Structure 1
């Protein structure tokens, strides 16, 4: 049993690297999907109800509720509405930002300072995403007849959002690791530079 705990105790760095890889995969994959209409439609309830993002769209909430396509469904009239609403332009921009954050985090082996900044951005993004639990009615089960609705009954959208708590923690952990590596490399470079300067003076 003792050896098992010793083995587990040595897995911290492995866990951090896997957390970073997980962030990169999720951010690049999900960010890339923002280029497709079905994903753009899916984020509109969050965006339209958010005080941080709603100004990007033409129509105010809850107008979007009459124009939502289900995943796999195609209604041309809804697509036309989303085009007028600037849904796709916003989704493209958001997707590009999310992919960029993932790529910044992926820079860890070469540029840990850049990676730390990427993790910091991911931390901020996760906070914004978690705010949807407050601003987006669709994150809670709606009162459609079942007595189990509202808080604490998370809907599918709510269950998706609450998982960002994990991303929040992973971004802090990877930011700390990357910052330590950056400071270590900088200190090593500074000491090397100081040594070279002493040799030149001598």
Structure 2
């Protein structure tokens, strides 16, 4: 029985390491892309239709807003990756990522084109499906935050 328990613990440890690396890599990479013009253009329908982001879009302009989002994402991704050196910082990064994913999930309600026209409210378009995957990333961010807090207390 002890071997099974150790194997489950080992598997969980590997799983958290993979999750942390994947989450940090995704957030860092996407954050870096926010400095490219095509990404500014891709994000425009999302930010202009969002009550929260439309205000910042109006004040900062599209390019500066995207750069601010990019810097935020790079910071959050870096914090998540810092767990071996700074578990508390990693926990803060996980909570920050959860906030980011809650924000992007709000686009399901505000962005045009998230539903497949004429197919009912549960028929997501490609954009809607792209946004819905953030529910998985939200769960991963919360797990990373919790695991980082546990490591901090050890």
When normalised by structure 1's length, the TM-score is 0.70
Q: RMSD of the TM alignment (CA)? A: 2.2
Q: Does 1:159 align with 2:137?
A: no
Please give the secondary structure, in 1, of the residue aligned with 2:116: coil
The 8 Å contact of residues 133 and 139 in structure 1, kept in 2 or not, is answered as yes
Runs (4+) off by over 6 Å: 3-6
Q: Does 1:87 align with 2:62?
A: yes
Q: Equivalences for 1:9-158 in 2 at 5 Å?
A: 10-58=10-58, 86-142=61-117, 147-148=118-119, 150-158=120-128
The 8 Å contact of residues 105 and 115 in structure 1, kept in 2 or not, is answered as yes
Distance 1:33 1:4 in 2: 43
Cα offset, 1:10, TM superposition: 3.8
Cα offset, 1:100, TM superposition: 0.7
Structure holding more helix per residue: 2
Distance 1:6 1:101 in 2: 32
Cα offset, 1:183, TM superposition: 1.3
- The CA deviation string for residues 27-81 of structure 1, in whole angstroms up to 9 with x for no partner, is 010010010011111111111111111112239xxxxxxxxxxxxxxxxxxxxxx
- The CA deviation string for residues 142-164 of structure 1, in whole angstroms up to 9 with x for no partner, is 3xxxx43x421211211111010
Q: Structure 1 unaligned runs (5+)? A: 60-84, 185-202
Cα offset, 1:5, TM superposition: 10
The 8 Å contact of residues 45 and 138 in structure 1, kept in 2 or not, is answered as no
Aligned length: 152
Instruction: Give the match for residue 194 of structure 1.
Output: none
Cα offset, 1:12, TM superposition: 1.0
Distance 2:4 2:113 in 1: 44
Cα offset, 1:181, TM superposition: 0.9
Please give the secondary structure, in 2, of the residue aligned with 1:43: helix
